[in-house]
Structure formats: structure tokens, C-alpha cells
A and B are shown apart, each in its own frame.
Chain A
Amino acid sequence: MKLTIWQRLDLVARQMVPFVATLLLVMLALVPLRLPNAAPVVPWFALIAVFYWTVYRADLMPPVAVFGVGVFHDFAAATNVGVGALLLLLVHLAVMPQRRFFMSRSFAMTWIGFAVIAAGAMLLLWMLNALLEGTLLSPEPAAFQFLTTVAAYPPTAWLFTRLQRWLLRTSRQAGP
């Protein structure tokens, strides 16, 4: 069956939703909270998003989108450019073969899996930043950011699950 232009556009818009939602989340995480020492330990939402969508809808978070999210985060947050993109791509690569495993497990197991991946990513982030700055950095903020990121996984995943269901529902209504 052939799709009309509008159906095509609708489909493309729908497929962009995870990517756009991720960008929005990355941006909102930059809003100053005016809490004591909040800025350095704001969760790494890009990591959560890439992990979630790679596990549940890898077709909607292709490597190019992962790269886009990473570069956008690096630019908007003024961190060392390229580092975020590289780590998110590595996470994407690491999660891809385990998708079925994560999908068939309980939420708690997925959460633990995410924590393991986040720990690895944070360690690499710390090492890469130290390498680029040419000096040893205190690992403390990275450790705290790891904790807040793991803590932020359940609510963020819940949000994404809602979004995914909404996508599915509306695409069924609109679909052929």
C-alpha cells in the first residue's frame, strides 16, 4: 500500500519523537536550579535516553541520532566537545547486542544493567576529561553524578514508556 505525502510526513515526525524528546530533556537539565551545588551533579539525561531507546526502540535511535544527541549536549553544556558523543556511541554499541536480554528482564534487572553501563561510561568520561585537561581530576563529582543519573533512571524511563505507548497508540489510530 502506498502512503500519501501527509502519511509519510506523519510517520517521519513520529519517528523523530524520541530524538526530539531527548534533546528537550538534555536542554531542560541545563536550567539553573539554584540549589546548593546542584549543577555539577545534574543527572546525565542523554545517557539515560540513549540507553532506554537503544534497548526498546533501537530503530528510532540510530547511531546518527546518538551522535547528534552527544554533540548537542557537548555544545549546549560547554563540556569538552566530542567526548559525550563518543561515550554515547560506545554505550549504544555495548547495549545493542544485549537488547533482547534487557527487554525480557524485569525492570529492576534493567535498572541494574543501566547502573553497570553508567558506571563504565562515567569512569571513561572521567578518564577522557583528565586526559584532555592534562591533569588528574577529582573523581568526586563524577561519582555523585553517577549516583544522581542512576537515581534519575526510573522516573525518566517511566516518562519514555508513556511517550512510547502514546506513539504506538496514535500510530495505530492513524496507521493503515
Chain B
Amino acid sequence: METGVNRPAGSFARIATPIKAWAQRFAVLLLIGASFGLMLMGKADVVMIERARTTVSDAVAPVLDAASRPVASVAELLREGKELAALRAENAALRRENQRLEHWRMVAHRLEAENRALGELLNLAPKPDTRYVSARVVADSGGAFARSVLINAGRKQDVAKGQAALTGDGLAGRVAEVGRNSSRILLITDINSRIPVVIQSTRQKAILAGDNSDMPRLRYLPDEATVARGQRVVTSGHGGVFPPGLPVGRVVKVSDTNIRVRPRVDWNRMEYLRVVDYGMSGILMTKPDPSEQTAAASGGAP
């Protein structure tokens, strides 16, 4: 565009003296050194860095919450407009599905009763109470090298590190950092995400490892495992952090070294997330007790 207007006004003195220029260059070097220092500290998972990050998240979350509402409304409006056109067909499909689900509901009731009766016979320990916290997704992670979102619930709402975050479809990620009023959810597609899972039909255990692509990999499957496309993958509950049996996705690609899973979650419609409090202190969790906040912040074992 125009370049003439970009000369500094007279009132702002331009730095011209060599000493000042030298000082500034020295400052740049110092700051570059500081950046490297931050990088190392970030890599070493220093508590201070995490605290700084949650402080920033807490500060920006309310602003982003306000800013994301109109965007969400517009997106919703567009989607509704699109859906309006297909209303009739969808209604018929839903009615059919409803009939089918009605049948499954009956089956579920019967199985639940049976399960309870058998559990009583065996003196099974009662399942822990599961509590949910719902929160809005207020920010995407910016950039090509991370997959995480920020939600507007934190320590105040009893969100704790390590808990599972779900959409209506299935597992979306786990709580990686908790601030006062905001938490960072590491999505299952992130390169740092590792989730213990089982293949539902064969009960074979594996680790679902993200690599920033849309389809995370299944790793550490036993050698004798038989994997086929279309098999469902659910959480295994190992580690005691996640409830077992949360739907994760389906196997979509199988080769000798590369087994890929397509998550059930629709990343584009992820407006709300439910964080699951499984009520069990697993290896990653400590009870969110106000007196133990420092322990919770460092994520240490009890």
C-alpha cells in the first residue's frame, strides 16, 4: 500500500545513536537466549511454565468465551439452514432409528438388571460414581503442530488433570492442564496423546497414539492380534483415569506397521465437552482438595 505515510512522526525520536543500536542488538541476543531457556524449561515440564500457561489461559478464556459465542451462533445458523432442506427425509430416518433404539433400550434394561443380579451374586465392588462437568470450547490451539482446545471450566468446577473429555459421540481428549476457570484439553489426535484402549470385539489391548493427523495410530498391539477394518475401539480403563468402555472410534486402515483409527468425534461440531470425573484417583490424579493444590498442579501421585 502507500509507503509515504509510514514515516515516523516528529514527536517520536528515531533511535540513531550507535550506542543505542548496540544496546538494542544486545537486548535481542539476550531475549533469544531467554527463548531458548523457555524452550528447555517447557520441554522439562517445569511447574512454573505450566502455572504461567494456566494463568494466561485463565486470563484469555473469558474474552474468548465472549468472542466465540457470535461465531458459534453464525455457524449454528448456517448448519440449521442446511438441515432445514433435509428435514423431511431426516424425520423419517429418525423415526426408524427411534424404533430401533426403543428395542435396544429394552435390551439394555434387561441386561442392566441381569448384570446387577450377577454382580450381587459375586459380591462385586460397586462401580464408582461418575460425575460430569460440561464446558464450552472457547479456543482452538493455534498452529500446525498441536491439537488441543481450551474449555471454560477449571479447578473451581472440580475439573482435574487426567480426566477424560467427551462429546456426545465419544472420547475427544484428556485434561492436560487445569487453571482456575479454564482447562486445556489435549485432543486424542495430538502428537503427545497416548490413550490405553481395547478393541471391543477381541478385547486386545493397545495404545492409541496421536500424530497430529486426523487418524491416530494403534500401537503396541500384541503380535497375535487380529485387526480388521471396522472394528470398534473403546477405552480400556487401564491406569484408572478413564472409565472403561468409552467409545473412541473405528479401525479404518490396517497394514503391517500402520493401523489407523478414525475417531467418532466430529471435530467441527465440538462446541461443548463433558469432562468425566470417574471418582477414582488413578495414577495421574489427586483429589482436587484446596489444601493440596500444589500437589494437583504438579500432577504428582498421592
Contacts and interface: CB of A to CB of B under 8 A. Distances in A.
B294 interface: no
Chain A interface helix/strand/loop/mixed? helix
Contact of B56 (A28, A40, A72): A72
Interface in A73-98: 73-83, 85-86, 89-90, 92-93
Interface in A110-159: 125-126, 128-129, 132-133, 135, 137-138, 141-142, 144-145, 157-158
Nearest to A105: B3
Nearest to A130: B145
A6 to B, nearest CB: 15
Given A32-B149, A72-B56, A164-B5, A86 B39 contact: yes
Contacts of B38: 71, 74, 81-82, 85
B146 A77 contact: yes
- By Cβ-Cβ distance, the 8 closest A-B pairs, closest first, are A82-B38, A141-B144, A82-B39, A77-B142, A39-B140, A86-B35, A81-B42, A75-B56
Given A32-B68, A32-B137, A103 B3 contact: yes
B6 A57 contact: yes
Given A80-B43, A135-B191, 19 more contacts: A31-B138, A31-B140, A32-B138, A32-B140, A34-B71, A34-B72, A36-B268, A39-B140, A42-B143, A59-B13, A63-B28, A77-B139, A78-B146, A78-B177, A78-B184, A82-B35, A107-B1, A137-B212, A165-B5
Q: Indicate the member of A79, A81, A83 with the most B CB atoms within 10 Å.
A: A81
A168 interface: yes
Contacts of A85: 31, 34-35, 38
Interface residues of B, number: 67
A79 B184 contact: no
A137 B139 contact: no
A5 interface: no
Contact of A34 (B31, B67, B271): B271
B64 A92 contact: no
A128 B40 CA distance: 12
Given A70-B35, A79-B145, A81-B38, A104 B3 contact: yes
B8 interface: yes
Nearest to A68: B31
A165 B4 CA distance: 11
Instruction: Indicate the member of B34, B142, B177, B269 with the most A CB atoms within 10 Å.
Output: B142
Contact of A81 (B41, B139, B140, B267): B41
A64 B31 contact: yes
B12 A59 contact: yes
Given A63-B31, A64-B31, A71-B38, A144 B144 contact: yes
Given A77-B146, A104-B3, A161-B2, A31 B31 contact: no
Contacts of A62: 24, 27
**Among the interface residues A31, A125, A135, which one has the most CB atoms of the partner chain B within 10 A?**
A31
A104 B4 CA distance: 8
A56 B141 CA distance: 29
Contacts of A86: 32, 35-36, 39
Contacts of B268: 34-37
B32 to A, nearest CB: 5
Interface in B178-198: 184, 191-192
A165 B41 CA distance: 41
Interface in A35-53: 35-42, 44
B35 A67 contact: yes
Tell which of A38, A74, A83 has the most Cβ of chain B within 10 Å. Answer: A74
A115 to B, nearest CB: 16
Residue of B11, B143, B177 with highest tally of chain A CB at under 10 A: B143
A172 B177 CA distance: 47
